[in-house]
A and B are shown apart, each in its own frame.
Chain A
Amino acid sequence: MKANAKYILCGTLLVSMMVASSVATAKRRANDFPTQARVEYVVACLDGRAVTSTELRECSCVVDIIASHLSYEDFLKAKALSALQQANTPNAEVYQTVRMTKRFLDKYLRAQASAELQCF
């Protein structure tokens, strides 16, 4: 089941990664996550898990791959959209219905899924 799901996801990911890669070619923007942002991500990823070298490697791997795919600026936008999608303000409503932001967030979610497939 898990492998199957993984397979399906990889298929769609390949396509989306190709689309995303045209954005990612602006290489000077990629890999610009501040150390603190990477540490925060890893700490959150480790939550509820044992802190062994395996877990540290897996979680570090995820954030490194995400950082290689999109700029820190775009990561923050995705993070904001994610928060707004779950919030309950009229403001959030905008971001739940706007197509442009949905596409943007989807792109990010696929990058995240790709990273997790490669790292875990």
Chain B
Amino acid sequence: MKSILKTTLVASAVFALPGLAQANDELLKLSADPANWAIPSGNYAGTRYSELNQINKSNVGSLKVAWQFSTGVLRGHEGGPLVIGDVMYVVTPIPNIVFALDLNNEGRIIWKHSPVQGGKYPSGETQARVTSVMCCDNVIRGVSYASGKIFVGLADSTLQALNAKTGEVVWQAHNMSAGKVGESDATGIKPSRGNAASTNTSVPLVVKDQVVIGCSGAEFGVRCNMTAYNINSGKRTWRAYSMGPDSDILVDPAKTTHMLKPVGKDSSLKTWKGDAWQIGGGSLWGFWAFDPDLDLLYYGTGNPSTWNPIARPGANKWSMTIMARDPDDGMAKWLYQMTPHDEWDYDGINEMVLVDQEVKGKNRKVLVHFDRNGFAYTMDRATGELLVAEKFDPMVNWATHVDMKTGIPALVDKYGTEHGGKGLDYLTKGICPAALGVKDQQPVAYSPRTKLFYIPANHVCMNYEPFEVQYVPGDAYVGANLDMFPGPGGNMGNFTAWDAGKGKIVWQLKEPFSVWSGALATAGGVVFYGTLEGYIKAVDETSGKQLYRFNSPSGIIGNINTWAQKGKQYIGFYSGVGGWAGYGVAGKLNDTKGNDRAALGAIGGYRHLKNYTQAGGVLTVLTLP
């Protein structure tokens, strides 16, 4: 039944004439069939929930490996597999190889697209240059599908549309510049102040007949933006910067609201000193959501640049902001800044999840967002009204609460890092959470069965010391030293079930390390997540009781997705943290004298460690026997 439906849908999708239906009609159909995993977050609402129930509480314990696929690429593997019909699409960390895998044939490669040729990305930047300006490992968070095309945002900021059948490039657009000022303009983009050393790790999202893509580089003084391209022509349709003049940030001073009030003229410019907004950061690298009924696109912006707050007085709008925009022209309907004048690197990029839920006795169309800053926000997604803002880890200490009238967090002075401008080279101790937040990009799941959110979380605190830094276009522009340590209780991660209507933790599982994988909720009553030790775990949706675990070849920082094919449900995910040397455990002896290390190097077998070919990332597919 399901497979027939799937075939019909795919066929109609392939033969649909352009112009008759918009791409998101096709995507809505594809994602409504749980046999596919057609949108990076499973659906436009970003719930990461699947109606499939073949794998359920009573049989999940007997899951077995169906097949595995080694990407041959090292380093961190984030994102997850996309499944359309009988084909799976995955992308690797740098050099961003895209694979189409045949699900009828245990993952045999149908095509392989290698965008780096002769050591160079399509923009002309070398792989080495691009790698050197990635802030945080070589990651990429997946690919998108629409109208027979696969969309991939390469690390060098090139957006490519590939023929889903052959992998051939249909069109490409150079979105931003990864180059150095004065060195390269091979793409026609001249690397400049605020647009140099920009990279991409985000997965594009197709909305109507456009594909939107973000950018990274807040650690390099990039002024980031959301940019839309026509899916057929590759022509740019709009670009909305995170900060700058009203015409750049696409707001209507009289109509765009913040806390239900019009933002007014120059809402961003007024909150920066001089022209600091030109290198203001506000990057976009998470997962995005779309509400087809309200016709709004939702995403969050990242930290203001630099990490030294003293260098950028003002609220630094619209960094750290939840944005709701009209996907046709990019115009903002409402904005909400969570962390004005960030002092901790609490990026606001985490995903937005769109659900209908009861809040304070009233059924509402809400947006739920778990921010790096440790607050979980529940908002009316039509109007931007703030309904709930509560800590989803009690350790959060930089603010006591969020003022529900102004939306501004009530700061705790001793855990600020600016200290009235005297914070330079001053070490502020014991701030919770650490810069990586109570949750980072690893997306949550929501189950309509339990009405609970399942949060993969960090439980880490930090000491933070801002320092003076000069902006040189194309160079790192960080400006803070950090060290981090486990939160109260000694564990460094949690898997938390959350009631977003009430703003309360329902249950919490402690994990020794951060939970860095995207969660999955299913109609089988089972919720999945992965750990840095490489375990995929399945737990009961209501109690959190562990029902199954399997040790995959490496730590899991990718997302766990599910699909069905020929009547069987599958679970698929990447493992791969990078660095694991295969034989023994490599590492530096930290608290001993150099003698030990010399001795270790001299031992017979150990010398082979460096020769061992490091295992690449692995995609593991599980199913019932």
Contacts and interface: CB of A to CB of B under 8 A. Distances in A.
Contact of A47 (B435, B482, B591, B611): B611
A80 B581 contact: no
Contact of B583 (A41, A85, A99): A41
A84 to B, nearest CB: 6
Given A89-B136, A100-B490, A113-B606, A47 B555 contact: no
B363 interface: no
Interface stretch (B494-502, B562-570, B572-580): B572-580
B534 A80 contact: yes
A31 interface: no
B75 A87 contact: yes
Contacts of A113: 596, 599-600, 603, 606
B19 interface: no
Nearest to B483: A97
Contacts of A89: 76, 136-137, 139, 557
A102 interface: yes
Contacts of B533: 76-77, 79-80
Contacts of A99: 485
A91 interface: yes
Interface residues of B, number: 62
B605 A120 contact: yes
Given A77-B533, A83-B555, A85-B588, A98 B605 contact: no
Given A41-B584, A94-B514, A102 B605 contact: no
Interface in B223-240: none
B604 A116 contact: yes
B579 A44 contact: no
B579 A85 contact: yes
A5 B458 CA distance: 40
Contacts of B535: 76
What's the interface size class on A, roughly? 35 or more
Contacts of A80: 513, 531-534, 555, 577
B118 interface: no
Given A80-B532, A94-B514, A116-B605, A47 B613 contact: yes
Decide if the interface of chain A is mainly helix, strand, loop or mixed: helix
B460 A45 contact: no
A84 B611 CA distance: 19
B513 A62 contact: no
A91 B534 CA distance: 15
A79 B534 CA distance: 9
A9 B596 CA distance: 6
Contact of A48 (B484, B531, B588, B611): B611
Given A98-B485, A106-B589, A91 B516 contact: yes
Nearest to B482: A93
Contacts of B434: 94
Contacts of A68: none
B619 to A, nearest CB: 17
Interface string B529-558: 001111100000000000000010011010
A80 B554 CA distance: 8
19 contacts: A2-B602, A6-B599, A8-B596, A45-B584, A47-B611, A62-B605, A80-B513, A80-B534, A82-B587, A85-B588, A88-B138, A90-B440, A91-B440, A97-B484, A105-B587, A109-B587, A112-B606, A116-B606, A117-B603
Nearest first, the 6 A-B pairs at minimum CB distance are A86-B579, A120-B604, A44-B583, A9-B599, A5-B599, A44-B582
Interface of B: 75-76, 136-139, 434-436, 440, 458, 460, 482-486, 490, 492, 512-514, 516, 531-535, 551, 554-555, 557, 577-592, 595-596, 598-600, 602-606, 608, 611-613
Interface of A: 1-2, 5-6, 8-9, 12, 40-41, 44-45, 47-49, 58-59, 62, 66, 75-95, 97-100, 102-103, 105-106, 108-110, 112-113, 116-117, 119-120
